[in-house]
Amino acid sequence: MTPYRTERLVGLTLLACLGGCLGPRKDQYQSSATITATADTRERLWRSAQETLRDHRFELDRVDRSAGVITTKYVTSQSVFEFWRHDVDTREDLWESTLNPVRRRVEVDVVPAEQSATNRVSVAVYKQRISSPDRQFNSTGAVYQYFGEVLPSTTGQERVTAADERWVDIGRDPAMEQYLLNSILNGAGVASSAATGG
């Protein structure tokens, strides 16, 4: 293979890899929709929201029909090896939750029937990442104990334990919000033309 062909092949490979990392900007995602709906459609939206969350292995926490709110508990997000799950929607988020424990919870709001002739369905997905003090190790053998509770911290603690770990808010997940919103609307049989973004 000539040097020119090799450079061209390497260049095309890099472009393909970089192009695969590009996705829609955060402001291009849609996390809510307004539906002109009958009472029957409202009922289907309410059921579809619960079924969609269960199908994606979220555990329902609050189901408040009068307030039009469904929330889930935090669930540790899927890793690259859990191909049967789908609670992250981009490759970047998938690698993030594979390399560092991340958890998500979902909040779905459906405008109650008595408030208006239209339904506003909105989805919010909140993310948290685990934060733990750095552990100190001075030998290669200590690497095997890095995730245990026997190594001291770099700040002087005798040991780093699970009690020292905490979950830190890292914002929302707009890609998963749009994915869940589309799944809810499809499950309720609402045509895309009946929904407008917001």
How far is it, in rounded angstroms, from Cα 134 to Cα 142?
A: 13
The pLDDT of 75-97, averaged and rounded, is: 90
Task: Note whether residue 11 is domain-resident.
Answer: no
| pLDDT surpassing 80 at residue 2 | no
Is residue 5 assigned to a domain? no
* For residue 27, pLDDT beyond 50: yes
pLDDT at 77: 92
* Neighbouring residues of 45: CB distance < 8 A, sequence distance ≥ 6: 35, 37, 110, 119, 121, 184, 185, 188, 190
Q: Is residue 25 part of a domain?
A: no
Look at 90-99, 139-148, 181-190 and tell me which has the smallest mean pLDDT. 139-148
The reply to whether 195 falls in a domain is no
Range(s) of the domain holding residue 179: 31-190
What's the mean pLDDT when you consider all of the chain?
Answer: 77
Q: What is the pLDDT of residue 193?
A: 41
Res 83: pLDDT: 87
Within-domain flag for 67: yes
Q: What CA–CA distances, in Å, run from 153 to 131, 138, 141, 144?
A: 13, 12, 17, 15
What tens digit of pLDDT does each residue of 37-64 get? Answer: 677 788 888 999 999 999 999 999 999 9
DSSP assignment string, the chain: --HHHHHHHHHHHHHHHHHHH----GGG---EEEEE--HHHHHHHHHHHHHHHHHTTPPEEEEETTTTEEEE--EEPP-TT-TT--S--SHHHHHHHHHS-EEEEEEEEE--TTT-SEEEEEEEEEEEEEE-PPBP--SGGGGGGTTSS-SPBTTS-S---GGG-EEEEEEE-HHHHHHHHHHHHHHTT--GGGEEE-
For residues 25 and 41, give the distance between their C-alpha atoms in angstroms, rounded to a whole number: 31
pLDDT surpassing 60 at residue 1: no
Give 7's pLDDT tier (boundaries 50, 70, 90).
Answer: low
How large is the average pLDDT for residues 126-155? 69
Q: How many domains does the chain have?
A: 1
Question: 22 falls in which pLDDT band (50, 70, 90)?
Answer: very low
- Confidence check: pLDDT of 4 > 80: no
Residue with the bigger pLDDT between 106 and 6: it is 106
111 or 16, which is more confident: 111
Structural domain includes residue 77: yes
How confident is the model over 157-187, as pLDDT tens digits? Answer: 666 666 667 788 999 999 999 999 999 999 9
Confidence grade of residue 194 (pLDDT, cut at 50, 70, 90): very low
Average pLDDT score over residue span 128-142: 71
